[in-house]
Copies of this chain bind each other. A is one copy, B any other.
Amino acid sequence: MSEKGLLLVISGPAGSGKGTVVSDLMRTYKGEFALSVSCTTRTPRPGEKEGIHYFFIDREEFERRISQGKFLEYAQYCNGNLYGTPMDYVQNRMDEGISVILEIDVQGGLQVRKNYPDAVLVMVAPPDFQTLEARLRGRNTDSEEDIRNRLLRSKEELAKLSLYDYAVINRDRESLKAAQEIHDIVLAEKRSVKRCPDFAKKFYGEE
């Protein structure tokens, strides 16, 4: 019932086709979705624009924002840089009626759930293990060890599916079906009574 945007976490192991699904969603439903813009402590690469690709801030400022609870989730990557999703940017988009997509891993998704329980968590999953393995091997760019590591990590991610809200099986990476299903999920969630408990009150507000 709410016509505000939703916060939509989209996760999925390597080989799930999650990236394509997110592009399909952005392209097919123009104006309905926005990608979140992250804060990072790393230095901008040539061509990267403040507020478009990232918000570039220094470590001191990043740590201050952590202590102020201003991130929906954050993580430190191997290179030592911090990356985080700023609550205020996401909230502003949602207030404009735009649903914000966070394409992050399960660990990040569960951090978001904790900090913003109204988020909708969607896992994009391959139809089965064989397909996942075939997709990873089909890339032909990764070493056997890399492939094994990715398969192991995929297992770990999918094992946490029960903590997510929806699972969308991406059978055919060429079709728009998975993106359409996520679009349906967003509509359904907007009609969910738990998102607008005071409808009956509003309904009679003018009496």
Contact = CB atoms under 8 A, between A and B. Distances in A.
Interface of A: 1, 123, 125, 128-130, 155, 158-159, 161-162, 164-169, 181, 184-185, 187-189, 191-193, 196-197, 199-200, 203-204, 206-207
Contact of A191 (B162, B185, B192): B185
Nearest to A207: B129
B200 A159 contact: yes
A57 to B, nearest CB: 35
How many copies, total?
2
A1 B193 contact: no
Contact of A169 (B1, B123, B159, B168): B1
B125 A162 contact: no
Given A125-B199, A184-B184, A199-B161, A191 B167 contact: yes
A204 B165 contact: no
A189 B191 contact: no
21 contacts: A1-B169, A125-B203, A129-B204, A129-B206, A158-B199, A158-B200, A159-B200, A161-B193, A164-B193, A165-B192, A166-B188, A166-B191, A166-B193, A167-B193, A184-B184, A184-B187, A185-B187, A185-B188, A185-B191, A187-B188, A188-B188
Contacts of A197: 162
B204 A162 contact: no
